[in-house]
Amino acid sequence: MPASAATTALKEKFPQVTDRASADHDAVNVPVAEVVAVLKYLRDEFAFDLLMDLTAVDWAEGASPRFTVVYHLFSSANLGYVRVATDCVSNDEPTAPSVVDLWPAANWHERECYDLLGVKFTAHPDLRRILMWDGYPYHPLRKEFPLAGIEVPLPDFEVGAETGAAVLAAPMAGGPFVASPGEINLTEAEPRAKDESWSDRRPRPDQTGLKQFKG
């Protein structure tokens, strides 16, 4: 059964499910209260047995809804994808139900999502940070978090005291280092600063009033 049949049947069974704009696969918006039931229905009735990805979108500060959790499902029987998106109700304390019971693969995905974006997954068996260390005070993929980082102590206080080192904002001389994937000349394709009009010592021309992060 193709994936489009799945979304059609889904919309009949769950009237609150709506279509979602998509450039590739079928996609639906689901209210957060129904998302577990929808995903379970897709898994059991339409053989979406693989959770390919689970992530979230931060639509920036001030946007409402600010956080959207996105599930990518794949059916190994019908070889089709479907994308399910759900908006978190709270913009400050975003939560979503855990789907670890449906797909064990969701465990680490939800931990990463919690670590980097701060979406709390209720009823998750082990919701700890997975990439940053325990006790790190920020969620780095949120829009207000600077790429260079924010100064905090090292995760190991003994090492921090002995070496005097801390987690410092990285020097962003010339902006983030970006690769040019389409470039034929490999020297030009290497990751490099795209804007060299500013550096750590020279502020960015359009942001002279902003505080510079020192490396």
Partner 1 sequence: MVSAETEIAYNSKIEGEVVVSRADAVINWIRTNSIWPMPMGLACCAIELMAVGNGRFDISRFGAEVMRFSPRQADCMIVSGTVTYKMASQLRRIYDQMMSPKWVIAMGACASSGGMYRSYATLQGVDRIVPVDVYISGCPPRPEAILDALIKLQAKIKTERSAKNLLKA
The correct pick among 33, 37, 159, 161 for binding partner 1 (CB under 8 A) is 159
Q: Give the DSSP letter of residue 134.
A: T
Which is closer to partner 1, CB of 125 or CB of 176? Answer: 176
- Interface with partner 1 in residues 36-65 (CB under 8 A): none
3-state secondary structure of 52: strand
Angle between the N-to-C axes of helices 35-46 and 3-13, in degrees from 0 to 180, rounded to the nearest 10: 130
Q: Give the DSSP letter of residue 203.
A: -
Phi, psi (degrees; rounded to nearest 5) at 84: -120, 125
The correct pick among 44, 61, 162, 188 for binding partner 1 (CB under 8 A) is 162
- Residue 161 binds partner 1 (CB under 8 A): no
Which is closer to partner 1, CB of 89 or CB of 132? Answer: 132
The answer to whether 95 and 121 are in contact (CB under 8 A) is yes
Distance of CA 181 to the CA centre of its chain: 22
Q: Give the DSSP letter of residue 92.
A: S
The correct pick among 41, 91, 168, 199 for binding partner 1 (CB under 8 A) is 168
Which is closer to partner 1, CB of 70 or CB of 167? Answer: 167
Q: How far apart are CA 13 and CA 75, in angstroms?
A: 20
The correct pick among 131, 161, 194, 197 for binding partner 1 (CB under 8 A) is 131
The correct pick among 45, 123, 177, 214 for binding partner 1 (CB under 8 A) is 177
The answer to whether 119 and 88 are in contact (CB under 8 A) is yes
The correct pick among 2, 104, 125, 176 for binding partner 1 (CB under 8 A) is 176
- Residue 188 binds partner 1 (CB under 8 A): no
Question: Which chain residues interact with partner 1 by CB under 8 A?
Answer: 131-133, 140, 145-150, 154-156, 159-160, 162-163, 165, 167-173, 176-177, 191, 215
